[in-house]
Chains A and B, each alone.
Chain A
């Protein structure tokens, strides 16, 4: 399945928001990015989408208290997705008429009485012409027993170890919300997937299941294909550990590698784990005509602040890696990083203004803005419309440049500088060459 569009009404800081995710040619897979400052509502959009994907029951367990979702002064809020389904991969539970190529899945919060403090959290009622309830969402993505409908969500604090016991209970459950714990809970970890890998390994030892064995080989090959730096790859799986080895053949347990590596490893492993549970081990991998092993299952993957813990070179490379190795996944990610934003696919860049910028509304980037960003440098992107920085220099340097202008202005009018000013002027003049890459007379 894919999300065709999202519509928010009165959810937190958004009175109304409508984003369409269809790319040219009717595609949805690829990289869709939300950029904006802190408290611009990026997480709200991602979490809203998650709740509508898994429905009010699982969503209610996951989000905890339903307070705080309705915009101040309003009595109801809703998020409605148009979901496009895939006949090959997604199946409906129970008898009933299947929808056309897409259907609506929505959740809403409402106060029964204006004075109520805790809102109700329910599914959005959708009826057909005969006033019969349409239950596509209940029979499909919201049902724990239906087939397919893969989706998952990851928060900025995702990691491999150190989960609180309650968060642990969520992540190891078989329910729909298990694939979204870190998006909603900072105390959750992705340790389950490493355990899953070891369990699978143990099973190959007990019985010679060639299907699982092939799957494990696939996991190793995929994770070894240029994902980690220094040629790192999974070297060995034992019943106790998953071992990683670098190009110099130094081996260490996966949980001991650096934060950035671990966070990416854990996320991708969790993704493979989830896809394997949903579609089955033998449907997981596919080889492209160039011989590259990829995960060819569709679905929606939400990642909040994907750049967390990542070195800039990784921020630049990871979107590409994910797009190549999960070619059918629709990635919806939020970021503060220009390098991540630059990887956005067509119609995949959405700009959220700061809450203080009242005359601006959340909107897709225009074609011209998008082209500038995808062809541009990170420096230009940071200064451009998506991030809107006036300068990338420190305040200290900016103040110095102003001081230079002041002294130079005096000098320019032919006013004598005092001795101390003169010393400062001469020194700043030299430093200006550092600030602007060369002496003023330098040619291009």
Chain B
């Protein structure tokens, strides 16, 4: 999970094409089959490409999965499964970008026939740091809901359904965190010794923010609530 830019509106023409597809689905006697067929066809069609392109732009450098930020290749994902909500199969607001392992975790344990995925946090349309923080070991941790006296229910179910701390992803997150911490510490040191100007340090900061390697770490510690943690806090205050 990471902070993503807000969902930008698609062009009029594309939206009306999607709306026409939706109308055909909802007008059909067997909406679920119709949705599967029409989406399958669209995913291979030329006219649908701008949808994919826009999602990739939102995902940012490396086109990393919007859920886990891992390195597995990703594809268009329906936040609410099209088998339960055929009327949302061709709805822009329902699209996310997710990797195969996350997608599989979602569909396996949220049988699309019965569940609508509502307990899943939507990384594009919700503020993910309201629900998660990244701890010093790189574990994506559900925040504690002090009113309920338990960790946030939706965050816990999201973490567990998608296995957001599965070893492959977590190891990469921990490595990125250790690496970023080291880079910040080193740069801060150079800054204090006046071997580096503030401008140069700010340039480095921008590079780190755009680095596609496990970008949730940079999102949390360089732009999110993690800015308060040492050594990021001291460094960011100094530049």
Is B205 located at the chain interface by the 8 A CB criterion?
no
Within 8 A of B (CB), among A159-208: none
B185: A residues at CB distance < 8 A: 443
Q: Which of A359, A435, A440, A442 meets B107, CB within 8 Å? A: A359
Judged by a CB distance under 8 angstroms, whether B26 is at the interface is no
> When A409-B141, A410-B144, A436-B174 are in contact, do A444 and B167 touch as well, CB less than 8 Å?
no
A350 CB → nearest B CB, Å: 18
Check if A371 is an interface residue, CB within 8 A of chain B: no
CB proximity of B73 to chain A, nearest CB, Å: 9
Q: Given A442-B178, A443-B181, decide whether A390 and B167 contact each other with a Cβ distance below 8 A.
A: yes
- Could you say which residues of chain A place their CB within 8 Å of the CB of B168? 380, 383-384
- Distance to closest chain A CB from B132 (angstroms): 10
Q: Are A405 and B181 in contact (CB under 8 A)?
A: no
What residues of chain B lie closer than 8 Å to A415, measured between beta carbons? 144, 146
Chain A nearest Cβ from B31, distance in angstroms: 20
Tell me, yes or no, whether B192 is within 8 Å of chain A by CB: no
CB distance from B78 to the nearest CB of A (A): 14
- CB of B141 within 8 A of CB of A405, answer yes
B52 at the interface (CB under 8 A from A): no
B155 closest partner in A (C-beta): A409
A404 CA to B141 CA in the complex, in Å? 10
A162 to B181, CA, bound (A): 61
A413 and B135 form a contact (CB under 8 A): no
The answer to whether A444 touches B175, judged by C-beta atoms less than 8 angstroms apart, is yes
Give the residues in chain B near A383, CB-CB below 8 Å. Answer: 166-168
Residues of A within 8 A of B138 (CB): 436
Of A384, A390, A391, A406, which one neighbours B151 at CB under 8 angstroms?
Answer: A406
| A-side contacts of B108, CB under 8 Å | 357
Minimum Cβ distance to chain B for residue A407 (Å)? 9
Q: Does B187 contact A (CB under 8 A)?
A: no
- Is B143 among interface residues, defined by CB-CB distance under 8 A? yes
Nearest chain-B residue to A379 (Cβ)?
B167
Smallest Cβ-Cβ distance to A383: which chain B residue: B168
Which chain B residues lie closer than 8 Å to A390 at the CB level? 163, 166-167
Provided the pairs A383-B168, A384-B168, A444-B182 are in contact, do residues A405 and B143 lie with their beta carbons within 8 angstroms?
no
Whether A409 contacts B143 by the Cβ 8 Å rule is yes
On chain A, the residues within 8 Å of B174 by CB distance are 436
Q: How far is the CA of A410 from the CA of B142 in the complex (A)?
A: 10
Q: Which residue of B lies closest to A384 (CB)?
A: B168
Band of interface residues on A: 20 to 34
Q: Measured between alpha carbons, how far is A380 from B70 in the docked complex, in Å? A: 14
Interface residues of B in 122-155 (CB under 8 A from A): 133, 135-139, 141-144, 146, 151
Across-interface contacts of A444 in B (CB, < 8 A):
175, 178-179, 182
Looking at B108, B178, B185, the one whose CB has the most chain A CB atoms below 10 A away is B178
Given contacts A441-B181, A442-B178, A443-B182, contact A391 B166 (CB under 8 A): yes
Contact with B along A227-240 (1 / 0, CB 8 A): 00000000000000
Contact B167 A412 (CB under 8 A): no
8 A Cβ contacts from A396-444 to B: 401, 404-406, 408-410, 412-413, 415, 432, 435-436, 440-444
Contact B142 A405 (CB under 8 A): yes
| Neighbouring B residues of A87 by C-beta, 8 Å | none
Which B86-136 residues have C-beta < 8 A from chain A? 104, 107-108, 133, 135-136
Contacts of A384 in B (CB 8 A): 168
| Shortest Cβ distance from residue A19 to the other chain B in the assembled complex, whole angstroms | 22
A408 adjacent to B141 (CB under 8 Å): yes
Question: Could you tell me the distance in whole angstroms from the C-beta of B25 to the nearest C-beta in chain A?
Answer: 21
Docked complex: B152-168 residues within 8 A CB-CB of A: 163, 165-168
The answer to whether B144 touches A413 (Cβ under 8 A) is yes
Closest chain A residue to B141 by CB distance? Answer: A405
Q: A415-B146, A440-B137 are in contact. List 12 more A-B contacts (CB 8 A).
A: A380-B168, A389-B167, A390-B163, A390-B167, A412-B133, A412-B141, A412-B144, A413-B146, A415-B144, A436-B138, A444-B179, A444-B182
Instruction: Give the 7 A-B residue pairs with the shortest CB-CB distance, closest first.
Output: A440-B136, A409-B144, A390-B166, A443-B182, A383-B168, A405-B141, A391-B167
Can you pick out 6 interface pairs between chain A and chain B where the beta carbons lie within 8 Å of each other?
A390-B167, A409-B143, A413-B143, A436-B137, A442-B178, A443-B182
